[in-house]
Amino acid sequence: MDFSKSMNFLLEKEEKQNNTKILKPDFSQKAGREFLAFYLYSKFNQILNYDKHSESPIFQRVKDGFLPSFTQRLIDRPDKRILIGISGESASGKTTICNTIKQVTEQYKMPIEILSADNYFKDISGLIKKYGSFDKLLESGYDVDSPDNFCMDILYRDLKMLSEGKDVKIPEYLVNGTGVVIPEAIEKQSKKIIVVEGMATMYGEVANLFDIKLYVDIDPEIQEKWFLYRAQTSRNQNEENAKKQLEYVRQASKKYILPKKDNSDIIINGASSLEYFMQIIKYVYRITNNFSEPKQ
């Protein structure tokens, strides 16, 4: 089955149904939230069933019990923002997926805020100056991907505040080889859905804040191709240095990222078609906006 065509079919079907929208229940009442939870549970299962029979599924695994648990959370804690953590190895497609989410959500004005956990790296500009360059710092044995090198307390605080409806100012890590971090540099709003990408989403107590933990899996050959392309085109690295850094990244992944993979709620294929992924987001938008207000 061509999943892209299948999603078009579902989108067209949902579009037709928009002419006869479902009467919006009172979500301030538990019965209304239970109806919403059942409705979303059914629709998400529909997506998974279509995907399962496609030629190139995007969903590699959905943890047993995740959907019932998540929809129950919508019933029990309706005021809490929905936090989605996106993790995976370097060059697995995390940022590309987030950019796709941003593109679609801006088009449809969906209430989603996106931030990168990499901005919570500790400032290592002094160490880079000491060793002469970022690459030489890595060669010295410095473990840049260790949880100790993230400001995990600040990340936890900011995500907790966002989940409670409070806007924050997050740090900005400059991806230019200097290791400089600018404190409270980027304003982030506490929208209905908060998407956070980066390896730090898997670490410590921060991981427990997320309602959905999504892991982006990638074939090693595709990962290498993407990593080297990014290193040479946007990070001004030559091929030799890029390959050295890739080897470091893979060793760090074995130590810090891959052991956390099984803790994820959903594992998706990072090499899946972006058009395909966009259609899923559009469909989610359709099903969550298929309610009409009750007549006064």
Helix (H) / strand (E) containing 107 = helix 94-108
Whole-model pTM?
0.89
Identify the residue with better confidence: 200 or 27. 200
Instruction: List pLDDT tens digits, range 183-197.
Output: 999 999 999 999 999
- Please give the structure tokens belonging to residue 88: 């995976």
Q: How many CA atoms lie within 13 A of 268 on its CB side?
A: 23
Cα 108–Cα 114–Cα 120 angle in degrees, nearest 5: 170
Lowest mean pLDDT among 7-11, 233-237, 272-276: 7-11
Q: What is the 3-state secondary structure (H, E, C) of 29-45?
A: CHHHHHHHHHHHHHHHH
Q: What is the 3-state secondary structure (H, E, C) of 234-275?
A: HCCCCHHHHHHHHHHHHHHHHHHHHHHHHHCCEEEECCCCHH
Instruction: List pLDDT tens digits, range 139-177.
Output: 898 888 889 999 999 999 999 999 999 999 999 999 888
Q: CA–CA separation, 230 vs 136, rounded Å? A: 20
Model confidence band, residue 16 (pLDDT cutoffs 50, 70, 90): low
235 has pLDDT over 80: no
14 has pLDDT over 80: no
Give the DSSP letter of residue 24: P
Phi and psi dihedrals of 260, rounded to 5?
A: -90, -10
Mean pLDDT score of the chain: 87
The average pLDDT across 237-247 equals 83
Cα 96–Cα 102–Cα 105 angle in degrees, nearest 5: 140
Q: CA–CA separation, 58 vs 216, rounded Å? A: 10
The average pLDDT across 192-215 equals 94
Model confidence band, residue 1 (pLDDT cutoffs 50, 70, 90): very low
